Amino acid sequence: MDFLRPTTWAQALAAKADRPGALPVQGGTDVMVEINFDVRRPEALLDLNQVAELREWGMTDGICRIGAGVTYATVVDELGGVLPGLAQAARTVGSPQIRNRGTVAGNLGAASPAGDSHPPLLAAGAVVEVESRERGTRLIPAAEFYLGVKRNALEPDELIRAVRVEPAQGPQYFSKVGTRNAMVIAVCSFAVALHPGERRVGTGIGSAAPTPRRALEAEALLARELDWHAPLDPALLARFGELCARAAAPIDDVRGTAAYRVHAVGVMARRTLTWAWNDHLARRAA
160 binds ligand FAD (CB under 6 A): yes
Query: For residues 265 and 242, what is the distance between their CA atoms, to the nearest angstrom?
Result: 9
Closest contact distance (angstroms) between CB of 24 and ligand FAD is 4
Interaction of residue 115 with ligand FAD, rule CB under 6 A: yes
Nearest to ligand FAD of 3, 225 (CB atom): 3
Residues in the chain, how many? 286
Which CB, 71 or 222, lies closer to ligand FAD? 71
> Closest Cα to residue 25, out of 56, 68, 58, 75?
68
Q: Which amino acid is at 198?
A: E
Q: How far is CA 176 from the centre of its chain?
A: 13
10 near ligand FAD (CB under 6 A): no
DSSP per-residue string spanning 79-137: STTT-HHHHHHHHTSS-HHHHHH-BHHHHHHHT-TT-SSHHHHHHHT-EEEEEETTTEE
129 near ligand FAD, judged by CB under 6 A: no
Residue nearer to ligand FAD on the CB measure, 4 or 201 = 4
Q: Which is nearer to ligand FAD, 110 or 267 (CB)?
A: 110
How many chain residues interact with ligand FAD (CB under 6 A)? 29
Cα 102 from chain centroid? 13
Among 139-147, 154-162, 195-203, 217-225, which window interacts with ligand FAD (CB under 6 A)? 154-162
116 binds ligand FAD (CB under 6 A): yes
Quick one: 148 or 234, whose CB is closer to ligand FAD?
A: 148
Of residues 17, 44, 82, 98, which one binds ligand FAD by CB under 6 A? 98
Q: Where are the beta strands (DSSP E) in the chain?
A: 2-4, 22-25, 44-47, 57-60, 63-67, 127-132, 136-141, 146-148, 151-152, 159-165, 172-177, 188-195, 200-206
- Provide the binding-site residues for ligand FAD, judged by CB under 6 A: 23-31, 33, 48, 68, 93-94, 98, 101-103, 105-107, 109-110, 115-116, 154, 159-160, 183
